[in-house]
């Protein structure tokens, strides 16, 4: 396995891809899945379903650990600081890719300190606005925000 492992934000297919031929050797003990959100939210619930299915497939428990705070930075940093033995996975969402641009002084390097393992879900995002907004599409919204940066 890579130095550290990372799960990004469809459980059935993902479990199969994570439990391939190497599953005969891995894991030989429980695996920790760090979720950088508080318990009970959609990211946590999804992670618990994933953990249950991985645990069943692997024959070893996958324990979900919630490490909320800092816009996912606290939980992600816990994955980075874990022993580099492949027994700590991290669940990330789009904030993982946004954080380096928003916070140049992250306590970790997203590209050097973490390695992707599998895409486990996809979620479309929609941008909406009030009907009175003078922009009717994204290009018009960008243009409007440039013309009226304080508007």
Domains of the chain are 5-123 (3.40.190.150)
Both tokens of 123, joined, read 């979620």
Is residue 10 helix, strand or coil? coil
pLDDT tens by residue, 47-98: 999 999 999 999 999 999 999 999 999 999 999 999 999 999 999 988 888 9
**Contact present, 99 and 72 (Cβ < 8 Å):** yes
DSSP designation for 39 = T
**Separation between Cα atoms, residue 107 and residue 112, nearest integer Å:** 12
Whole-number percent of the chain with pLDDT over 70: 84
**Which residue in this structure is represented by tokens 């009717």?**
136
**Contact present, 20 and 117 (Cβ < 8 Å):** no
Q: Is the pTM of this model over 0.75?
A: no
Distance, C-alpha 67 to centroid of its chain = 12
Whole-number percent of the chain with pLDDT over 90: 66
């Amino acid at each position: 396995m890579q130095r550290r492992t990372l799960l990004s934000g469809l459980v059935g297919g993902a479990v199969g891809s994570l439990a391939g031929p190497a599953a005969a050797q891995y894991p030989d003990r429980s695996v920790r899945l760090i979720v950088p959100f508080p318990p009970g939210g959609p990211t946590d619930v999804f992670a618990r379903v994933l953990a249950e299915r991985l645990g069943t497939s692997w024959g070893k428990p996958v324990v979900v650990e919630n490490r909320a705070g800092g816009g996912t930075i606290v939980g992600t940093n816990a994955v980075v600081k874990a022993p580099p033995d492949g027994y700590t996975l991290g669940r990330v969402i789009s904030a993982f890719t946004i954080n380096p641009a928003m916070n140049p002084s992250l306590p970790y390097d997203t590209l050097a300190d973490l390695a992707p393992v599998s895409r486990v879900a996809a979620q479309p995002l929609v941008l909406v606005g009030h009907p009175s907004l003078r922009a009717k599409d994204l290009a018009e919204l960008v243009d409007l925000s440039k013309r009226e940066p304080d508007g």
